[in-house]
Chain A
């Protein structure tokens, strides 16, 4: 009964979304407030119905109701309760339901918090949002219904893919989806603006919080996914340039560009047509990511069981939404009024540079991801584009971004003083040079890594420069500086944290890649493995039993300077239902670095293959991500965005003193 209620609620949501797709638009044309209000009411109704639908499926999973096909195929009655719940989105059908659930949530959020948006634009935006929803409800109902039943009901489920039986599944997909789907709002706003034929600075002010929100979650989602891959896949890598990773990275890059270009639009009414295009492209890249994962056109570790008929359906959705939005853009954009011109050396000039570099970086990743597909279509040759391509093309693009980044906040709007900014960055050059020296003293080589460390330190120090400048630290008494710093807008603090985060991530990446060490070997119990100044003593294997698996657990005693500092227990798990094995790596955090042990095969000659890594400062990679998300959150909580009007006097005063 409960699954049928869920199914029915989904059908009702489709019905509501169809009405909401049209009625508010008519209302906006005829200025009829009642018709326009259908947008708001419909958005609430869709969200309520999706809660029922999602709740019904969650109940089926929670109760291990194996008469539901999706539950039977992806769950097991012995799984811990948390995995029973998360296996809901550990498969294609359920994850699509989560996707539309979040879409409905965002629709309701716009309805609730869009009070400062003009009613006609709000009605149009909610209608566009509903087009997206309607298409995806249809997709689920026609090709991927999670509520289909089995008769007779099997007694036991097929279990969830063991790799997914992890806390990572509870956190990573919801964060990522909130990010992906969150960009639908800026898409709807862009399409709404094109339909209405007006865009102005206020548009950017309405859209920017939504972009920020989506960006924060996407940042966290990607960072979490990277950490999950790192500890679960057992070979210590944290980024693989896999097509699906790229599919999440492209909207992040485009979203980052959008975040910055919307700033220019908000403050200077420039870059309007470009910002609209970016808003469309960012969500388009999210959609293409969804298509790539679920259609099976590219192979990836993430691929869902693929089905070409679903692929055709999603492709049709892409053609309608992206093709439609871009056609509308092609039709309307030339007649939209361009914004003002500005000097190249200015805050907005710096942000244009940021946008150029970020969109080139996005394009690079896009080409690298789709090139194998295009080549196979053209010549039939099978190739894969891997890390070497991306490292070679992506790194040179990101170096100028990082060099230019600290300058941005130091330049004034309209006309900046590059020499002055360069002078105020003295402190950052010194810190960067110190970074190189420290790295040289500690590690010596390679030269490129030393320079990259210097760049990381420079970015961090440079990001602090604006704060130091504006708080008057080192110039006025400390208490005054502190008081001034506290008075700075939160968006300033947000920028600082996000930029520092990028520097931290860079340092983490460089340390891990350049100075990480690894050993692999077949060891008998009693063997000692030296690694990065530590010694690991392999004590032996013991069998252990989990709820739905059996495990061989290795006991490794970690010794530093003759003193035992702890025990690590990597294991190999065997899941009977799926006859699959997983390797559970063990991690030990030492400062910001980590010891990492993963078990390989247990060999016939009583030896066990063990991989051991020492990864110095590896945690900085994800701590940097957390900093970025925290910076975004600070920025989102800025009064300017909450109140919806900038504090003119204060900003102007600052701009003038800075100039």
Chain B
């Protein structure tokens, strides 16, 4: 009963091919795995709102928040027209927001676009404390106390960052915090694209 007993297997030829089937199937699956590994985080969902106009929801300003040029205004959807805007949805209770806050300070130094914030389901005094601690990168901060605007924007969880083009259309959405890695490799690329679109 050793493999030398090949005379036993008269119909060997078709069986050779059948025996290759599992290997071929596995090779296909392994290739699939290999290409999906580099494809990034599967928990990142594409936003259904990309390519659609930014929601038309005006949000009140954060009381007593002032910048160098007087009180920081709330979110006015009309202001999206004419300038590229980066919209950051954040909250003081959100831990990754604390990590990305210094990166937004850096981002806001670039004057080619506006950076605005949506303060999501937060308490005003805690939100003010947050901006005092890390600095305020936002040209405008809209308060979304009950999360209604978050629904309009399709927010799954904070932080999320949107890039809105000059035409007021959402060009990109980043789920999760800004990191030193993705700020240049992802977000700045999308901003540049939006700027180039004129």
Instruction: Please state if B41 and A277 are interface contacts (CB–CB under 8 Å).
Output: no
Out of B5, B20, B32, B95, which one reaches A374, CB within 8 Å?
B32
A297 — nearest CB in chain B belongs to which residue?
Answer: B36
Complexed CA–CA distance, A577 and B41 (Å): 26
Task: Give complex CA distance A412, B171 in Å.
Answer: 69
Give the residues in chain A near B1, CB-CB below 8 Å.
Answer: 198-200, 337
Q: How large is the interface on A (under 10, 10 to 19, 20 to 34, 35 or more residues)?
A: 35 or more
The complex places the Cα of A273 from the Cα of B27 at a distance, in Å, of 21
Shortest CB–CB separation between residue B7 and chain A, in angstroms?
Answer: 10
Residue B196 is within 8 A (CB to CB) of chain A in the complex: no
- Across the interface, which residues of A come within 8 angstroms of B9, CB to CB? 334-335, 337-338
* 28 A-B residue pairings within 8 Å (CB atoms): A197-B4, A198-B2, A198-B3, A199-B1, A277-B22, A284-B26, A296-B41, A296-B42, A311-B37, A315-B33, A315-B37, A318-B30, A318-B33, A319-B30, A322-B26, A322-B30, A323-B30, A326-B23, A330-B16, A330-B19, A330-B23, A333-B19, A334-B15, A334-B16, A335-B9, A337-B9, A373-B33, A376-B39
Q: Count chain B residues whose beta carbon lies closer than 8 angstroms to a beta carbon of A.
A: 33
B interface residue numbers (CB < 8 A to A): 1-6, 8-9, 12, 15-16, 19-20, 22-23, 26-27, 29-30, 32-39, 41-43, 45-46, 95
CB distance from A341 to the nearest CB of B (A): 13
Q: How far is A502 from B42 in the complex, measured between Cα atoms in Å?
A: 35
Residue of A nearest to B34 (CB): A315
Cβ contacts A295-337/B at 8 Å (1 or 0 each): 1111100000010100110010011001100110111111111
B3 in contact with A332 (CB, 8 Å): yes
Are B30 and A299 in contact (CB-based, < 8 A)? Answer: no
Give how many A-B residue pairs fall within 8 Å (CB-CB): 95
Query: Looking across the interface, which residue of chain A has its beta carbon closest to that of B45?
Result: A382
Spell out A's residues near B (CB within 8 Å).
Answer: 197-200, 273, 277, 280-281, 284, 288, 291, 295-299, 306, 308, 311-312, 315, 318-319, 322-323, 326-327, 329-338, 370, 373-374, 376-377, 382, 579
Q: Separation in Å of the B52 CB from the closest CB of chain A?
A: 17
Question: Which of A311, A322, A333, A370 is the one whose CB lies under 8 Å from B32?
Answer: A370
Could you tell me the distance between the alpha carbons of A440 and B189 in the complex, rounded to whole angstroms? Answer: 65
Q: Which residues from chain B contact A373 at a C-beta distance below 8 Å?
A: 32-33, 36, 42
Q: Is the interface of B mostly helix, strand, loop or mixed?
A: helix
A344 to B109, CA, bound (A): 78
Question: Other than the known A330-B16, A330-B20, what 17 A-B pairs have Cβ atoms closer than 8 Å?
Answer: A273-B19, A295-B37, A297-B37, A298-B42, A311-B33, A315-B30, A315-B34, A315-B37, A319-B30, A327-B23, A336-B3, A337-B1, A337-B8, A373-B33, A373-B42, A377-B35, A382-B45
Chain A residues contacting B33 (CB-CB under 8 Å) are: 291, 295, 297, 311, 315, 318, 373
Residue of B nearest to A327 (CB): B23
Given contacts A297-B36, A323-B27, A327-B23, contact A579 B95 (CB under 8 A): yes
Contact (Cβ within 8 A) B35 A330: no
| A257 CB to nearest B CB, Å | 14
Q: Which of A198, A200, A330, A332 has the most CB of B within 10 A?
A: A330
* A140 vs B168: C-alpha distance when bound (angstroms): 50
Q: Which 3 residue pairs of A and B lie closest in terms of their CB atoms, listed nearest first?
A: A197-B3, A326-B23, A333-B19
Contacting residues, chain A, for B46 (C-beta < 8 A): 382
If A297-B37, A335-B3, A373-B32 touch, whether A330 touches B22 (CB-CB below 8 Å) is yes
User: B2 — which chain A residues lie within 8 A by C-beta?
Assistant: 197-198
